[in-house]
Structure 1
Amino acid sequence: MPRRRASISAVEVAPEIGKGAENRCALCERDVQHLSRHHLVPREEGGRHGPTADLCQPCHSSIHLLLDNKELARHYHTIEALRGAEKLQKYLHWIRRSRVERISNRRSKG
Structure 2
Amino acid sequence: MSRRVRPIPPPATAASPAPEGTRCALCEREVQHTSRHHLVPREEGGRHGPTADLCQPCHSSIHLLLDNKELARDYNSIEALRRAEKLQKYLHWIRRSRVERISNRRGKG
For this structure pair, what is the TM-score category when the shorter chain's length is used for normalisation?
0.7 to 0.9
Match for residue 35 of structure 2? 36
State the one-letter code of the partner of 2:20: K
Distance 1:101 1:19 in 2: 15
Task: Give yes or no for the alignment of 1:91 onto 2:90.
Answer: yes
CA shift, 1:19, in A, is 2.9
Task: Give yes or no for the alignment of 1:105 onto 2:109.
Answer: no
CA shift, 1:83, in A, is 0.2
Match for residue 47 of structure 2? 48
Distance 2:83 2:104 in 1: 23
Q: Give matches, 1:75-90, under 5 Å.
A: 75-90=74-89
Distance 1:63 1:91 in 2: 9
Q: Give matches, 1:54-69, under 5 Å.
A: 54-69=53-68
TM-score, normalised by the number of residues in structure 2: 0.81
CA shift, 1:107, in A, is 1.0
* Structure with the largest fraction of helix: 1
Distance 1:93 1:82 in 2: 13
CA shift, 1:108, in A, is 1.6
CA-atom RMSD, angstroms? 1.0
CA shift, 1:109, in A, is 3.5
Which aligned runs of 4 or more in structure 1 are off by greater than 2 angstroms? none
Structure 1: give runs of 5+ residues left out of the alignment.
Answer: 1-17
State the one-letter code of the partner of 1:19: E
CA shift, 1:32, in A, is 0.2
